[in-house]
Structure 1
Amino acid sequence: MAEPEQPSPPEEVAQYVIDGLNRQDADKLRRIASYSNALANWKEAAGATDQRSGENEDDQAADQDDRPSAVPAKASTVVKKINNNRYYYWQWRDGDKIRSKYKGPVRDE
């Protein structure tokens, strides 16, 4: 009998989340799934939207609009500090490598 194929994760899930899930055993994954469903229900009931730090829905929509074609949908936005300046970069995993692409300076408001 052939071994079952591992399912593919959704593209919009950050790679660090996928990596963490892949390290869990089946029982923990079922408990995580139960928690995830309960959390989603709570957020819907509370009227909460995506809680990414410091970003609102307009910022997230802009993220999608300004994503270069070379940057995959699963890429996350990270902040890197270089010479006391902060910059946004798109970052994603490509096989065993972490890829980055410059996005722009962090504008403190």
Structure 2
Amino acid sequence: MKPLHCVTLSSLLLLAPTVLAQDLLKPTAPAGSPDVDAGPATEMVSEPVMRASGTIEALDRERGVVTIAHGPVPALKWPASTMEFQARREQLEGLAVGDEVRIGFQSEGDEAALVSIEKR
């Protein structure tokens, strides 16, 4: 019985460095698309990021909400409309009512959060 234990223990000791080396090669986080503007304004996890162009109709920096009259979003089968988007305060810096913008957003149900916003 002792020789069997020795063989088993020896095998484990020989394989351990290989297993550890393989673990070091594994990525620590899943590879995905890079965050734009540090990610969405909320914890939404819908994919992919949708794109639209529009005009800023209202800004509420305290609540972190921007109202945008945007064109159609064919991927979501949305017609052109005016709606509120959740935004982080830093995303709204330098923007004003009337600015033409291009947005990237994620949507979940009837809520949408900005991933990116830039003046056109």
**Larger helix proportion of the pair:** 1
Larger RCO, structures 1/2 (Cα 8 Å, 6+ apart): 2
The two structures share one fold, judged by TM-score above 0.5:
no
Q: TM-score, normalised by structure 1?
A: 0.26
Q: TM-score, normalised by structure 2?
A: 0.25
Bigger radius of gyration:
2
